[in-house]
Amino acid sequence: MDSYDRVMAALKGNKEELDYIPCISTTSTCTLELMERFNSKWPDIHRDPEKMARIASAAHRVCGLDMITIPFDMVVEAELFGVSIDYHEDKRDSKYGYWPTRKKPLSKTVVPLIPPENISQQGRVPIIVKAIKILKEEFGGKVPINVHLVPPFTSISYYIIDTASFFVSLIRGPEKVKTVLDEALPVYLELAKIYSEAGADTITLHDMGASARTINPIQFEDLVKPYIKRITQNLETTILNICGPTIPMLKQMVECGATAIAVDETNPMRDVRSIVDKTKPGYSIIGNISPKNHLAEGTPEQISEAVKNAIQDGVNLVAPGCDLTLETPTQNLCTMVEATKKYGIIK
């Protein structure tokens, strides 16, 4: 059974079709070791489609990860709206990796955003589309190509508008926030459509700012759920990924309409499985191996135990809970994949 069929069956909850549970990552698998091994480094891999594709496929080639994911950062959508991005060109020779960051907010207050025209030609969208096509040419039908998109709530609150001002407005004038989200939504709908038409097999909605650390279930219902639902209803296969504690809004996450949800290690998998099954029995859950405590800093025994526990507690697809840290050892990724094959055999 190839990775594509394995992942698609697992996402749809068709466990009886599997040989073993898939091991994937719905977010970035870029690491310093893999960049060195494949001679493609930051910031080049963010703006060169061939290098982007090379590093995206590295964890599959080396460790057998069952999914290939692009891009590697959270500011693609912000750049579309005109946010100036710092790629840290001055640190390209550093032994450390530096994530692309915004130089400054587009606005210090919550105001309507000017939507970009001709989205398919703006920012790094053409680069990501080209990388999708490169990956599809080699891996199409064999390994699923996943593209992560940062939805309106997280994108606007953390990467476009001044974050402090956004959350003050969330309390004092939520109707203003909702208006901004409403007016920006068509951009995200179009972007998801562009990725899908380019050949993406799955779209991950990486809404990491929408956890219980930052908002409550009422705010999630009003300011996150409607926008995720609009995006998912236009796509065939989607994953809603929220890093951080999500137990209070798990029911709402399932109701967003994605094919599956992904959670991190702050959420006990046994509790997640119980709550999800009360909402939609058998619905697919992805997670929840700690990127830091297990994959970056853990021993092989700790990683294997975490994978075993996740599978025993009801996960459908094993994955890091969020983006890998750049310092993640390649061997630890391979250990996660090997442990999944060992403990995830379908009998």
Q: Give every CB contact of residue 203 below 8 A, 6+ residues apart in sequence.
A: 146, 147, 148, 149, 192, 195, 196, 231, 235, 237, 238, 239
Structure tokens at 84: 């100036």
Average pLDDT over every residue of 65-69: 98
Q: What angle is formed at CA 51 by the lines to CA 49 and CA 57, rounded to 5 degrees?
A: 100
Q: Please name the residue ranges forming H helices in the chain.
A: 3-11, 32-37, 44-47, 49-56, 58-63, 76-80, 125-139, 152-154, 163-172, 174-198, 217-223, 225-232, 250-255, 269-279, 300-312, 330-343
Give the pLDDT confidence score for residue 184 in this predicted structure. Answer: 97
The residue among 25, 20, 4 whose CA lies nearest residue 264 is 25
pLDDT tens, position by position, 140-159: 999 999 999 999 999 999 99
Are 290 and 321 spatial neighbours (Cβ–Cβ below 8 Å)? Answer: yes
pLDDT tens, position by position, 76-120: 999 999 999 999 988 887 777 789 999 999 999 999 999 999 999
Domains and CATH numbers, the chain: 3-343 (3.20.20.210)
Burial tier of 23 (Cβ tally within 10 Å: 0-12, 13-18, 19+): buried
Give the pLDDT confidence score for residue 309 in this predicted structure. Answer: 98
Output b/e per residue, 305-339; b: 16+ Cβ within 10 A. ebbbbbbebbbbbbbbbbbbbbebebebbbbbbbb
d(Cα 213, Cα 234) in Å, to the nearest integer? 29
Output b/e per residue, 212-251; b: 16+ Cβ within 10 A. bebbeeebbeebbbebbebbbeebebbbbbbbbebeebbe
Looking at every residue in the chain, the average pLDDT score rounds to 96
d(Cα 266, Cα 306) in Å, to the nearest integer? 13
Count CB atoms within 10 A of the CB of residue 253.
Answer: 28
Which helix or strand (DSSP H or E) is residue 70 part of?
strand 68-70
Give the pLDDT confidence score for residue 97 in this predicted structure. Answer: 78
pLDDT tens, position by position, 332-347: 999 999 999 999 998 6
Average pLDDT over every residue of 32-38: 95
Amino acid at 26: T
Structure tokens at 293: 């405590």
pLDDT tens, position by position, 39-50: 998 899 999 999
pLDDT tens, position by position, 212-241: 999 999 999 999 999 999 999 999 999 999
d(Cα 319, Cα 331) in Å, to the nearest integer? 15
Give the pLDDT confidence score for residue 67 in this predicted structure. Answer: 98
pTM: 0.97
d(Cα 93, Cα 144) in Å, to the nearest integer? 33
Count CB atoms within 10 A of the CB of residue 342.
Answer: 13
